[in-house]
Amino acid sequence: MAIVLGIIVGVIFYFVNGGQYTLSFDEKAFFYFLLPPIIFAAGYNLKQRNFFKNFSYISIFGILGTFITFIVIFVLTYAVSEIDWIYIESSPDSYRNKSIVHLTMSDCLYFAATTCATDTVASLTMLKPKNFPKLFSVIFGESTLNDAVAVILFQVITMMCKDSEINLDGGMVGTIIGNFFKIGILSLLIGLFCGLLCALLLKHAHFLKISPIFEISVIFFFGYLSYVICQNIELSGILALLICGIVLAHYAFYNISITSKLATG
């Protein structure tokens, strides 16, 4: 069904675009309007009991596993590039007429950071939370942390490659690890701050309880605020928004009216 739906949508866009195969898409529209609601919903509707109960397994697979995958992909890609196994054939019938492609260190790092992010949608669709609660929570939590770690790695590499080409040495590894923890910790703190501030506001600001619309708007505002702050200071908005959603579900959810609970839950 997903493949058929994709074909139908692709055909519609093809004819709408005047039969042209190229179709441009503004990345800002995706990162600022389409992605935040998805990440916020994942954190806000997270089954917290199962998540924190299996947090040790989730951390091993989501953080350490992503790091190992990133390192393995980077080393193999760099090695394949150095032994001239990446090339473009100018003539399909002649092996000699080929142009060797040497990937730079930045290319290999970007490639590794992009491909170390895994998609667990197919796995989660086959697992029923009621039948396999522990396995479902571990896979779901791992996919959430995996995406956040991959995005942070990509941002770290972008910051390092902004000025000049980087070299493979101990200093580079230390810089990647240091920037990773800096971005991760600061993003986490901003998400915690926005979530706790929203919870306190909903608890003590009684004028917000006049209408469920006010409560729901405040919840979405603070979630989006954490994302925008991190995006504009080159931190991980995804991690901040995810943490903010978890905090809001744990604290702010109990400070809102029943109507708002039904609407947001």
Q: What residue spans define the domains of the chain?
A: 26-89+100-264
Using DSSP's 3-state secondary structure scheme, residue 12 falls into helix
Task: Indicate the pLDDT class of residue 95, thresholds 50, 70 and 90.
Answer: low
pLDDT of residue 112: 92
CB atoms within 10 A of CB 96: 7
Q: Which two tokens stand for residue 257?
A: 């009216």
Alpha-carbon distances of 190 from 48, 125, 185, rounded to whole Å: 20, 32, 9
- Mean pLDDT (the chain, rounded): 82
Please state, in angstroms and as integers, the Cα–Cα distance from residue 80 to each residue in 19, 72, 97, 208, following that order.
39, 12, 19, 60
Model pLDDT, residue 137 = 81
Tally Cβ neighbours within 10 Å of residue 214.
17
Average pLDDT over residues 61-74: 91
CA 35 to chain centre: 9
pLDDT, tens digit (0-9, with 9 covering 90-100), for 6-41: 899 888 888 887 766 666 767 777 788 888 888 888
Query: What is residue 189's predicted lDDT score, i.e. its pLDDT?
Result: 94
Q: What pTM does this model have?
A: 0.75
HSE of 265, CA atoms in CB hemisphere, 13 A = 13
pLDDT band at 221 (very low <50, low <70, confident <90, very high): very high
Query: Could you give the angle at the alpha carbon of 39 between the alpha carbons of 224 and 11, nearest 5°?
Result: 110
Report which residue type is found at 115.
Answer: T
Question: Residue 229's closest CA among 243, 208, 212?
Answer: 243
